[in-house]
């Protein structure tokens, strides 16, 4: 082998061993390769297992449960990435329980989550935006102690135009004494009772953000290795941001307090003039608010006097994440996590954001019209 061959081989090995940026290959002389780790890889499963070490009695079943969510969301993401190529965009021709047109991807995402989560013995009840009633998982295991509530594809009316969409989920523990048939008791719990919650955004990359009540962590899906890899450790929402996010087309139907608040943001009363951003896909709008600060609002409107967002599977998981990251989430009157739900598909107004914007929001609400 001459030195050109060596150098070609060396470069090839270097490329192979650079394993998507996680490892570094170094040559010593012309023959030896020394591999050193540049960045430790932490997958979401490793992270959950490490976190469980805090609880000496943890059996690992919770990480197995969460792996049902990660598997399902990888399957959803692969369909989302092929939207436009396969016959998966467009409406299914049905409406769901909310009276909303079901997209084909809504139906697929729902089926995938139901399938993957039904395999987990620790789950007794599943409730989805797409199903009228909560479902008892067929295995009916006596070991079942969690309910998972989810919106399989939030923002799906945007999918045909390549706008980011997401999945939200909330995990609740079976209340003491509840039987398997008391499905409403399993899911009609205030958000403060969530044991874990999170979401996935299928955006320019796919990111899973979750919390088990011990901070908020983000994992980006590395398509080359098919794993969610820790990319945003211990996310903290900035104290103040520069964007507000609301559908301003409805502003003439907002109450005076909301309009006063928005005017204060626009006029610079909080020390800066805000710009606006609104995607119309709540998970994506919230994800920006989580990372950059600011405020997202879906107030009561003429069409949705109780707000549009669903308490159990949209507002509650988002509130849990927001509070864990140092943010605040309100329905305009109280903390969202304190609302006692009366029905599975209950809606709520939701205002979520950084400490500075939320303090001003609460001040405007108290001031009245």
Which one among 70, 110, 128, 156 touches ligand AFP, defined by CB under 6 A? Answer: 156
Stretch that binds ligand AFP, among 42-50, 51-59, 155-163, 233-241 (CB under 6 A): 155-163
For residues 233 and 236, what is the distance between their CA atoms, to the nearest angstrom? 9
Instruction: List Cα–Cα distances, 179 to 142, 185, 192, 235, 344, in angstroms.
Output: 10, 9, 22, 37, 18
Q: Is 157 in the site for ligand AFP (CB under 6 A)?
A: yes
CB atoms closer than 10 angstroms to residue 56:
6
The residue (of 228 and 298) whose beta carbon lies closer to ligand AFP is: 298
Question: Minimum distance between the CB of residue 154 and ligand AFP, rounded to whole angstroms?
Answer: 5
154: CB partners within 8 A, 6+ apart: 165, 166, 167, 168, 199, 281, 282, 283, 314
Least separation in angstroms between CB 298 and ligand AFP: 6
Q: Based on CB atoms, which residue is closest to ligand AFP, 1 or 249?
A: 249
Judged by beta carbon, residue 231 or residue 247, the one nearer ligand AFP is 247
- Work out how close the CB of 297 gets to ligand AFP at its nearest, in angstroms, rounded to a whole number: 10
Distance CA 65, CA 149 (A): 13
Q: Which of 105, 282, 315, 350 is close enough to bind ligand AFP by CB under 6 A?
A: 282
Q: Give one DSSP letter per residue of 230-258, joined into a string.
A: EEE-S----SS-SEEE--GGGGGGS-HHH
92 binds ligand AFP (CB under 6 A): no
> Other C-beta atoms within 10 Å of 290: how many?
29
| 217 lines the binding site for ligand AFP (CB under 6 A) | no
- DSSP state, 10? H
Strand order in the sheet with 227-232: 135-136, 123-128, 146-154, 165-173, 194-202, 206-211, 217-222, 227-232
> Which residue of 60, 179, 268, 280 would you call a contact of ligand AFP, by CB under 6 A?
280
- Which CB atom, from 153 or from 227, has the smaller least distance to ligand AFP? 153
* Residues 327, 357: Cα–Cα separation, whole Å: 10
Assess 91 for contact with ligand AFP (CB under 6 A): no
- Measured from the CB atom, the residue of 107 and 282 that comes closer to ligand AFP is 282
Which of 68, 134, 152, 155 is the binder for ligand AFP (CB under 6 A)?
155
Stretch that binds ligand AFP, among 52-60, 71-79, 275-283, 347-355 (CB under 6 A): 275-283
Q: Residue for token digits 């061993």?
A: 17
Which window, 34-42, 43-51, 84-92, 152-160, contacts ligand AFP (CB under 6 A)?
A: 152-160
- Is residue 245 involved in binding ligand AFP (CB under 6 A)? no
Query: Does the footprint of ligand AFP cover residue 100 (CB under 6 A)?
Result: yes
Among 104, 217, 277, 308, indicate the residue that binds ligand AFP (CB under 6 A): 308
Q: From residue 244, how far is each of 48, 241, 261, 330 by CA, in Å?
A: 33, 8, 11, 15
Nearer to ligand AFP (CB atom), residue 154 or residue 360: 154
The residue ranges that bind ligand AFP (CB under 6 A) are 100, 154-158, 247, 280-282, 298, 308-309
């Amino acid at each position: 082998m001459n030195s050109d061959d060596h150098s070609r081989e060396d470069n090839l090995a270097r490329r192979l061993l650079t394993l998507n940026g996680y490892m570094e290959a170094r040559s010593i002389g012309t023959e030896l390769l020394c591999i050193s780790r540049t960045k430790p890889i932490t997958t979401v499963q490793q992270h959950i297992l490490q976190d469980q070490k805090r609880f000496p009695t943890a059996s690992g079943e919770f990480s197995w449960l969460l792996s049902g969510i990660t598997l399902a969301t990888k399957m959803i993401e692969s369909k989302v990435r092929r939207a436009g190529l396969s016959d998966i965009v467009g409406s299914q021709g049905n409406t769901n329980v909310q009276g909303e047109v079901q997209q084909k991807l809504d139906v697929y995402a729902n089926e995938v989550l139901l399938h993957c989560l039904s395999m987990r013995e620790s789950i007794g009840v599943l409730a989805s935006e797409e199903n009228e009633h909560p479902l008892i998982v067929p295995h009916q295991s006596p070991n079942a102690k969690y309910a998972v509530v989810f919106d399989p594809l939030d923002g799906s009316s945007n999918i045909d135009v390549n706008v980011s969409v997401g999945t939200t989920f909330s995990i609740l523990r079976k209340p003491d004494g509840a039987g398997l048939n008391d499905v409403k008791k399993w899911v009609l719990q205030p958000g403060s009772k969530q044991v874990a919650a999170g979401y996935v955004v299928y955006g320019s990359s796919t990111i899973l953000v979750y919390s088990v009540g011990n901070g908020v962590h983000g994992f980006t899906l590395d398509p080359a290795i098919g794993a969610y890899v820790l990319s945003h450790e211990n996310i903290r929402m900035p104290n103040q941001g520069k964007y507000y996010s609301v559908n301003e087309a409805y502003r003439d139907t907002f109450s005076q307090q909301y309009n006063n608040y928005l005017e204060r943001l626009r006029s610079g009363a909080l020390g800066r003039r805000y710009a606006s951003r609104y995607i119309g896909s709540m998970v994506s709008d919230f994800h920006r608010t989580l990372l950059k600060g600011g405020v997202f609002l879906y107030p009561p409107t003429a069409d949705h006097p109780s707000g549009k967002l669903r308490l159990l599977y949209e507002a509650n998981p988002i509130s849990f994440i927001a509070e864990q990251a140092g943010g605040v989430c309100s329905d305009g009157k109280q903390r969202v996590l304190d609302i006692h739900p009366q029905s599975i598909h209950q809606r709520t107004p939701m205002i979520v954001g950084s400490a500075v914007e939320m303090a001003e929001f609460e001040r405007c609400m108290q001031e009245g019209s």
